[in-house]
Structure 1
Amino acid sequence: MSTLSGKTAVVTGSSKGIGAAIAQKLAKEGAKVIVNYNGNQAAANAVVETILVNGGEAFAVQADVSRKEGVIRLFDEAIAQFGQVDTWVNNAGVMLNAMIKDLTQEQFEKSIDINFKGVFYSLQQAATKLADNGSIINLSSTVTRTIFPTYGIYSATKAAVEQLSRVFAKEIGPRGINVNCVLPGPIATDLFLTGKSEELIAQIASTNAFKRLGTPEEIAQVVTFLASDEAKWISGQSIGANGGMA
């Protein structure tokens, strides 16, 4: 039997990149998956189709998780479609790099809205809507363990997610729900690669023990383990998946 057989999982921002890999891996392990997207319906449908072709169950739901009403609708549609939600993965995120002195108000607010508020709203809803003995996995970043110029607002929002997760792990623990963060290092996705020269990418890749970028599938494996019953004794933790970068 697959490790997540009979469970339902929601993955925010899962139309591409790490989120898509997580959705596909969870489905491969038997979970019924809600693929969330905000604007790219075609990409989300492609992820769903891949899951269906491989014998899994999946359904795409449009929702802007930076807004409370979007998170509420995503939770409610997932429950309406599959009966309950056992695993919630907060993957949706935005990386807007700029020196702190140059960061615009729009960049600041967008970073807070997507990277932090989206997680906050989902935890509020999970308090009453996530199934007992479920799991929550929030994607943070290894940049919270490093000091990189231009990553100020991104690393600050991710650090906030980690602390929020630790507190919520204690608050919701009596229901048997574990809450953890996964901290990817540099991963070969559009989010990381966009705007970087080949020289800079190679320089960043050289900072980990394996001298390469990670893959979305490697992050998906960690998330899938944390969603399984085998990881139930792990909660309130921030787990690096960065090839020894930090």
Structure 2
Amino acid sequence: MMDLSGKNAVITGGTRGIGRAIALDLAGCGARVYALYARDRKSAEALEQEAGHKGLGIITIRGDLARQETFQASVDQVKEACETIDILVHAAASGVHKSAMELTDRHMRWTFDINFFAVHKLTVALIGKMKKGGRIIGVTSPGGERVIPHYAAIGASKGALEALFRHYARELAPQGIMVNLVCPGMVMTDAAQAFPQLAERLAMTLEYTPTGDLTRPEQVAALVRFLCSEEAKQIVGQTLVMDGGKGLLA
């Protein structure tokens, strides 16, 4: 098991889905984890309870990062708690499931505020706490490159995120801070339930995935953990796909 004792990890969207799995995984390796969440107090309490039973160091911090007033309060809490930040994982995501021609300015702003602008604001706000050996990891999706029905706003925001992270990687690698993204295929989380025609999409995904299985949150967490290791320090500015081979098919 990888030893992250003495390290601080900040994870957005850290109380549900993929973010929750990452929080538990890194805390299980000894990291002190600060799991940020927007509104769902029940999921935060459930995570705190599980962490308590397992003796893990997880602290939840509430704050909608897309709103300036709550964003700053969250940043202040993190900065006060952490002398340094060793790992920053951007797992929070949201958006509107509509076709491109149905999207309004409000839909686009809402999606980009969470999936893009909040990511950049938080990274800039916390980068002063990161030192050599730090890791910044984003969670993207296949929709950042490929067309997925009713995914135009989210896909566009993820494509923008991937471009931004390439610039982060180039600028921060000389400081010893490594930046990468993980790109899981379809993962059955609470967020996935919002997909239109979910049953059809699930069946199609399984049919066209060579492994015949979906990626699990715990598998994504294991990949994030590897990217936090010393062995992964030469992986810079990459988007690591974990989709069971689905993206290989034409």
Deviations 1:46-100 (A, max 9, x none): 1122122212111111121224554444343223224321100001101421111
Deviations 1:113-141 (A, max 9, x none): 00111111122123322233210001111
Matching residue's letter, 1:175 = Q
Matching residue's letter, 1:113 = D
Aligned to 1:52: 52
Query: Mapping of 1:73-112 within 5 angstroms?
Result: 73-112=73-112
Whole-Å separation in 1 of the counterparts to 2:176 and 2:229: 13
Whole-Å separation in 2 of the counterparts to 1:113 and 1:184: 22
Shift of residue 150, structure 1, vs aligned partner: 1.9
Stretches of 4+ moved more than 4 A in 1? 68-72
The answer as to whether partners of 2:111 and 2:154 remain within 8 angstroms in 1 is yes
Matching residue's letter, 1:129 = K
Measured at CA, do residues 174 and 67 of structure 1 come closer, stay the same or move farther in structure 2, by a change above 3 Å?
farther
The answer as to whether partners of 1:72 and 1:125 remain within 8 angstroms in 2 is no
Structure 2 residue 124 is matched with structure 1 residue 145: no
Query: Mapping of 1:7-26 within 5 angstroms?
Result: 7-26=7-26
Whole-Å separation in 2 of the counterparts to 1:67 and 1:169: 26
Matching residue's letter, 2:74 = L
Measured at CA, do residues 207 and 66 of structure 1 come closer, stay the same or move farther in structure 2, by a change above 3 Å?
farther
Aligned to 1:5: 5
1:210 alignment partner, SS class: coil
Deviations 1:143-179 (A, max 9, x none): 2232223211111110111110110111122221000
Whole-Å separation in 2 of the counterparts to 1:132 and 1:166: 18
Measured at CA, do residues 128 and 82 of structure 1 come closer, stay the same or move farther in structure 2, by a change above 3 Å?
closer
Whole-Å separation in 1 of the counterparts to 2:21 and 2:242: 15
2:88 alignment partner, SS class: strand
Give 5+ residue unaligned stretches, structure 1: none
Q: CA RMSD in A?
A: 1.8
Query: Mapping of 1:143-222 within 5 angstroms?
Result: 143-194=143-194, 195-222=196-223
Whole-Å separation in 1 of the counterparts to 2:91 and 2:204: 26
2:131 alignment partner, SS class: strand
In the superposition, the TM-score normalised over structure 2's length comes to: 0.91
Moved more, 95-104 or 215-224: 95-104
Shift of residue 211, structure 1, vs aligned partner: 2.1
Give 5+ residue unaligned stretches, structure 2: none
Whole-Å separation in 2 of the counterparts to 1:127 and 1:185: 29
Matching residue's letter, 1:233 = Q
The answer as to whether partners of 2:140 and 2:162 remain within 8 angstroms in 1 is yes
Aligned to 2:232: 231
Deviations 1:29-61 (A, max 9, x none): 111100111111221121122122212111111
Matching residue's letter, 1:201 = L
The answer as to whether partners of 1:143 and 1:185 remain within 8 angstroms in 2 is no
Moved more, 199-208 or 96-105: 199-208
Shift of residue 215, structure 1, vs aligned partner: 1.1
Shift of residue 105, structure 1, vs aligned partner: 2.6
Measured at CA, do residues 51 and 230 of structure 1 come closer, stay the same or move farther in structure 2, by a change above 3 Å?
farther
Measured at CA, do residues 124 and 161 of structure 1 come closer, stay the same or move farther in structure 2, by a change above 3 Å?
same
Aligned length: 246
